[in-house]
Structure 1
């Protein structure tokens, strides 16, 4: 093996371990937790309303529960994302014996379920339970694509169970706290070389972590609701293995136990809802997510040596949305909303695993109540990039492999369809 190829394969394998950072970027933090609020691009989601799914963002809204309420939500996410290398990158890749192919549609469709239960103990005390997948989705590029040594597949799966208790102080103020129990699993692969049929190296790990939620709901006057909710970070001690079919520096081909300690970001959501007439309401939301706390955790071999650090280096992200809903009649409510999402990723650190960028949301939805205790919610959202998205992995980029520069363009969009059922006893 030539010295250049040895360097190329070694750096590629170590870079794979760093790929875990891309598996947790903004595009993998799942916002699709409610068909009701998706119809307004999640405007007003922490201020409460007819749906108790608001407890995902603000547990204090559990005090809106009457009797016993159960909700089941389902969202079908259909993303599209293609990375196309520029002419210079195509020439470089083919010079190393690879193809200049684009990624194909690398974003996989996904079904995201969520369920919520609220119970009114008495006029002051309330119990709630939310079960969600807060992080997830997957990307998988086409075979033998030009960026396969940076990324082949990325898979993230999580389940979050969140019991909570709420207390209504009076008609103006409600408070709540909850616990989070989160299972988190990640698997990442990349090619060991550029030619078609090159071997695959893989990194995987999982863990169960714990956190908390808290919130308050303030009603300064009839028809006005203001909610603030907090979801804490969850620290995971991920245990798993790193496997490679070729030698990586001093490590021969094989499978090695690894571990790393990392945290999911904490999140603060502020929402307001204002009743304009008996049938028309407007809402707004501002959300902050603390992605910068991830920094650069270490990946350590079970034997004790550090394999490398994980270069997250994300910015914090922001989400702004406005929306409105109108009661057409006693059975039908219509809603719509728009949002702007600031990604934690910019061109300085944008990767081939997750070419994330700022997004614009456009949404519409409705609720239908066929009988007193039963309601259905439906929503549709279209997301598209707010910028001309590019990837530029040069010597100044944290994913640079020390061998070649990768530049290209990203074309992406997302369509989401959601539905839910709500029943109250």
Structure 2
């Protein structure tokens, strides 16, 4: 019965994840919100072994910390972004297009992001796991006839990633793991089109399923110290879809490579009740470059999606304190260097560097049942958008858009962690796992 419940919850998460889209919160259009436990520390130390197996998203080798038998975790995040975009559109001289300063309003959409994890301990050394996540997502929707409508109206990206994983503890110091990513990715972009009849919408959409890998290692050089190194590969997608314009509907193709990611995490026990965590993450956003959208009929390019991002970096520091045997408190701070710079920033994704401030707690309800809560406030401040001569999106036939975005985000996460026993119990993996 418990196995059926766990399978049902995993299936529910898969369905919910497939329909999830929110403003990207990990630089570019990636989503970092994969764990309520690590949310409470601004994701510091997420690649080390702990009581939550959600760390397998970043470093699958941490699965060796799972307890006996089955472990199941359901993590859910509610993301409430605010991103107000204002500016002025100026057409070229002699153009019939009207100048406009109509604000976009709040272009960010609230989002629900679920993630599920399950693990089964095969024996004293090996653990089999699977995760279901939405690693990428984006949803921005300004007012229909806002000033920058000819450069963007709405943008949407969705993903669902299923990752079966096998982790193995070589000895008491070193664990390794390897996993497979099975990823569905979908994109839908809309833009205003100037015609003699008005400003209808042109829409591009496409999707694909492709494969990638995930791998990791953890090292415990001494009692109370752990170092984790995790890797998630990029996934190469050949998107099939269509483009709809006032002239008609045509089939299209586009090739897009999601970024790979490397993270290094450290956990250090200071006292029996206090631990500190740190993480450095590198994301290979520069590999996106400028994918072309081509017609299926003849291979002609209909649009170039200019990304040209730089690589992203994320730095996090956090700590947690065992208030008593059942309650653990945690907090963290992080700083993220966005892959989007001033000279390439678009109206679709006015991303910028971010400051993360987080707090959270865990409560051990029963020996095999725990609850986590996490809260994060993300501040980006005023962000310039200057689409004019020299900008990669600039179209001299349309005109310039000069404006700014002011954004911040509130995130609330909660999770349930449940374990039911088996023949290979490991006392160090019970409870908090320290």
TM-score normalized by the length of structure 1: 0.89
Let me know the Cα RMSD of the aligned residues: 2.2
The residue matched to 1:388 in structure 2 has which SS? strand
Q: How far is the alpha carbon of 1:197 from its aligned partner? A: 6.2
CA distance in 2, matches of 1:216, 1:288: 17
CA distance in 1, matches of 2:257, 2:134: 16
Once superposed, which parts of structure 1, at least 4 consecutive aligned residues long, lie more than 4 Å away?
22-25, 88-95, 194-197
CA distance in 2, matches of 1:418, 1:211: 27
CA distance in 2, matches of 1:335, 1:111: 23
Q: How far is the alpha carbon of 1:152 from its aligned partner? A: 0.8
CA distance in 1, matches of 2:345, 2:272: 47
324 and 333 in structure 1: CA distance in 2 versus 1, 3 angstrom threshold: same
The residue matched to 1:361 in structure 2 has which SS? strand
Are 2:387 and 1:393 aligned? Answer: yes
5+ residue gaps, structure 1, are 1-21, 246-252
Do the aligned residues in 1 keep the contact of 2:31 with 2:134 (CA within 8 Å)? yes
CA distance in 2, matches of 1:132, 1:329: 32
The residue matched to 1:370 in structure 2 has which SS? strand
Question: Residue 260 of structure 1 aligns with which residue?
Answer: 254
CA distance in 2, matches of 1:151, 1:183: 24
161 and 104 in structure 1: CA distance in 2 versus 1, 3 angstrom threshold: same
CA distance in 1, matches of 2:196, 2:231: 48
Equivalent residue runs for 1:20-419 within 5 Å? 26-67=27-68, 68-86=70-88, 89=90, 96-97=97-98, 99-193=100-194, 198-245=199-246, 253-304=247-298, 305-385=300-380, 388-402=382-396, 403-419=398-414
Q: How far is the alpha carbon of 1:371 from its aligned partner? A: 1.1
TM-score normalized by the length of structure 2: 0.87
319 and 25 in structure 1: CA distance in 2 versus 1, 3 angstrom threshold: closer
The residue matched to 2:105 in structure 1 has which SS? coil
Do the aligned residues in 2 keep the contact of 1:269 with 1:287 (CA within 8 Å)? yes
25 and 100 in structure 1: CA distance in 2 versus 1, 3 angstrom threshold: farther
Q: How far is the alpha carbon of 1:25 from its aligned partner? A: 8.8
CA distance in 1, matches of 2:175, 2:126: 10
Are 2:419 and 1:424 aligned? Answer: yes
Question: Residue 17 of structure 1 aligns with which residue?
Answer: none
CA distance in 2, matches of 1:61, 1:119: 13
CA distance in 2, matches of 1:103, 1:218: 49
Question: Residue 429 of structure 2 aligns with which residue?
Answer: none
Q: How far is the alpha carbon of 1:89 from its aligned partner? A: 4.7
Do the aligned residues in 2 keep the contact of 1:23 with 1:155 (CA within 8 Å)? no
CA distance in 1, matches of 2:367, 2:332: 27
Q: How far is the alpha carbon of 1:312 from its aligned partner? A: 1.6
Aligned residue pair count: 395
225 and 282 in structure 1: CA distance in 2 versus 1, 3 angstrom threshold: same
Moved more, 393-402 or 52-61: 393-402
After superposition, give the CA deviation of every residue in 1:36-56 in whole Å (9 maximum; x if it has no partner). 000000000001211100000
CA distance in 2, matches of 1:417, 1:360: 16
CA distance in 2, matches of 1:98, 1:65: 60
5+ residue gaps, structure 2, are 1-22, 421-434
CA distance in 2, matches of 1:377, 1:417: 11
The residue matched to 1:348 in structure 2 has which SS? coil
Do the aligned residues in 2 keep the contact of 1:144 with 1:197 (CA within 8 Å)? no
